Amino acid sequence: MASGLTGTLANAQIADFIIAAARGDLPAANALLKSGVDVNAGSGTSTTALIEASSNGHLDVVQALLAAGADVNSKRKANGETALLLASENGHLEVTRTLLAAGADVNAKEGGGLTALILASRGNHVEIVRTLLAAKADVNVRRDLLDRTPLLEAINYDRRDDHLGVVRALLEAGANVNAIDGTGATALMEAASGGRLAIVQALLAANANVNVAPAAWRKRSPPLAQYSIGPTPLTAALSSGRVEVVRALVAANADVNLKAGDEYTPLTMASASGRADLVRLLLASKANVNAVEFDGTTALMVASASGHLEAVQVLLGAKADVNAKRRDGSTALMLAEQNNYPEVAKLLTSAMGAAPAGK
């Protein structure tokens, strides 16, 4: 209704009205409406009563405001959030349903390109995600800043596979499992990097590309390439150190020798970390024990340089070339001696004596 109030009194009543809505004080909000306050009036912070009531989950207030003619798609001037975005972000399912029934724009974006679906996905609000999808939310919408989809956002915010329900709901609704974000990451790379086995398995079941093109992350949004977690899901998994995730990727036919540009091979990465279990797994999966990196480095060299005795033993057992030289002329033995790892040096010396002639 139009307000007949003017000046300082009107502004004070508008502020009181919005505060009442934010607190869930329905009697106070109704009283101020009856006194002539405009249901769509904005405060000095450029918000409305409906936005604040929705953000805080006050369903009865939301219903009363909508009945009084509140604009369901009004936005905060500062960042452009709508009532639906805030209700979805904060996990208020019934408020979300009420706003949608009143005609809320399910695909509205705030200033950073976030939608209700993205916010609900990263907040792990499974039922809200399903509700928004049923209302035709764009499952592959991209936020403006990092070019992430709801699926990528959900996995990025996941910590212990707790977003698995959201991930499954998005995949069931047709989420692009192989979408690449502004840093060059895919959903599988993100999940593998965090060691989230259940999500990795769900993505693989949805035909995620386990051998995503190594160059893809370098070509996409170069200014953001510095934030990349790595060129392949397998190398991303190795950074998490979870052998179960590495095993799942290898079982899904991950290329154990795939690398990009100056990046290390999976075996070199595992050797550098000293994870003998991962070294064994990769070798059993046909990793090239003598693969050479851009500077001539081999897996044996990095394991020796870091003093990882067990990893060195495993590599030598797989016939790693103990006499291989880096571009600067360094051998595995030289690196072990330089870094004061006498046990590794002794093992390498013994292996050199046993090496076939010409090695």
Per-residue pLDDT tens digits for 12-23: 899 999 999 999
Q: Are 80 and 212 part of one and the same domain?
A: no
pLDDT for the residue 223: 44
Q: Are 94 and 232 part of one and the same domain?
A: no
Give the closest residue to 254 by CA, choosing from 315, 189, 316.
Answer: 189
Q: Are 131 and 218 part of one and the same domain?
A: yes
Determine the longest span between alpha carbons in the chain, in angstroms.
Answer: 101
Total number of domains in the chain: 3
Q: Are 115 and 225 part of one and the same domain?
A: yes
Question: How far, in Å, are 168, 189, 190 from residue 293 at the CA level?
Answer: 38, 22, 25
- Residue 233 domain-assigned? yes
Amino acid identity at 318? A
- Residue 63 domain-assigned? yes
- Residue 345 domain-assigned? yes
pLDDT for the residue 182: 83
CATH of the domain at 322: 1.25.40.20
Range of the domain at 22: 9-104
Q: Are 113 and 259 part of one and the same domain?
A: yes
- Residue 270 domain-assigned? no
Q: Are 235 and 299 part of one and the same domain?
A: no
* pLDDT, tens only, 125-170: 999 999 999 999 999 999 987 889 999 999 999 878 889 999 999 9
> With bands split at pLDDT 50, 70 and 90, how would you rate the model's confidence at 24?
very high
- Residue 271 domain-assigned? no
Q: Are 207 and 99 part of one and the same domain?
A: no
Q: Are 129 and 99 part of one and the same domain?
A: no
* pLDDT, tens only, 217-268: 454 444 444 444 457 899 989 988 999 999 999 999 999 998 865 678 999 9
Query: What's the average model confidence in pLDDT over 316-341?
Result: 97
Q: Are 113 and 236 part of one and the same domain?
A: yes
